[in-house]
Chains A and B, each alone.
Chain A
């Protein structure tokens, strides 16, 4: 029997995020292009992507499969095989250029200044080594310390991410951990070298909601302690609303909307963002039919001309001269609010949102 006799649940306050300040960016991506030549043609996975994240800030990158969100983040860590991927543009992390970095420099950079949490902890942990071994390996790759010291560090990290009984757990294998604990172990491994940049690629998608809630709290806590810049890749707008300061919406390899999270989710200005919001069923109110975006995302082998979203856009008729089909719009500020940008030809997207979209949001 538990010693809790109180009738109140253990609750955690959800802290609203404060609006972003103008700070020195730690990660700065400028005009990034990633292309893969294949037998079927050139896959243009990322086209002209630019964004920046300062320390202690979280940027959420949102988009569907094939939008380029994972490909661009893997480029930030230098994870693409340069024999396969063509990468141009610039990725600066703490002032250092990652594009074209030598393998030797990349080894020191990856897992040190920057690290990554993957979606599937089951396949990202080696089944043959203990969890402790894998965390120690990462630590010793960047620190010249004894095995005993490294193990102390591993135990410490497992404790930090909330794994009970870390001294025993450190010698266990991944299969002895539950899904949520494996994801915690991955996070411990990613944070063992105090990275200043953490990229989390759908870290909670494979988890149940109660475990997801624990992991989101954990990432927020750790970010506060370590002061890292976090790039959070997800397709769940609810998660974004809770964890992000800024949001970047991607579609077919390009950014279509970028700005503070409350602005982009509260009053989005791009028809694709509208479509995403209209596709999510609400937890309150009378369920109304959803208004999904028609069609499906384009193949990156043949990205549509002009605005890549135009074949699925219900507002393209409001733009004169067939502009959406012929000219790709710039990612610029469309309203008086200069802190946000979007990529759309619509004259007054804020008014269209008010009159056409807002009334039918779930």
Chain B
């Protein structure tokens, strides 16, 4: 059942993979999201990896995931009949999101300035890579370039080896989700006076924002952080964050400050199992872990920390991810297994909350399981509203019922290459 939260609101989603998550969030909240695709299909349908490794317009895993619950129509923006249809749709829409190169929609006479007179309440968000004012405003960007431009890439990888990105690219997702928040803010503004506006999202800025304020470090402390593999840390506080265990990896941090209790509990556990060397437990634990513990460690502190990390590493090698996770929960340690897709799919916590949702994909004649509600709302539950649409699946519904076009007009528009 469609969520009541945004019921009655309509979004035109003209974006490709760069903006898809925006419309997905709106669809999960109950808005009617119409994906407007060129007659050959949105290019994001062709992005690998594919279901069962078989390419196909309905088989891209990212497409299936981030377009679930949307409707699809085909519309050719490159012809005047198509542009006329878009104007008619825009008159009936509350939101529009696009991720075209800057000025593309304007060049077609479909920019915000052209659409706003038709529908002053329209909220139009444009997802860009580098904004609209700098020398890079027309730059192309694949996801990896956003990761690089925003500073996340430089911090990921081993010293002496190339910096890397995640194997599920993240940059555009941050920008698309930012477009969703901004669109909601603009919508709230509209409730006061009925007027919409244009929103411009900057992906590069969205990535900088993920750096946990490391970005301010050079200005206040005079140096910038280098990537260091499984280690992390501000100046003087290098710490190991990932350890090998019997069947994979686990994340754990030995530190003071908010980590102090957890660190002591970890050492107690090692001691309990008879695996703690004498020096580690004598005289009240680690000296290097001052309560404020983030910075200012001396060489002796770091040497002690390193020796302790080695003890913890040896201990973890005797435990599986499951055993570690059980103890992390029981002993209230600050740690977590480095979970893979299988671990997550089987997680009893997610199961207890009924998180994953299965939807039927008609074109594939197959059930697909998706991440469920991003939050539990007591009055207006949200979550996936259905599977990703097939190309043009809702042409009749949208052009017929919504725009009121007759069967003959639709045939004509098809023949004209507009639909």
Genuine A/B complex: no
> Residues on A close to B: CB < 8 A?
none
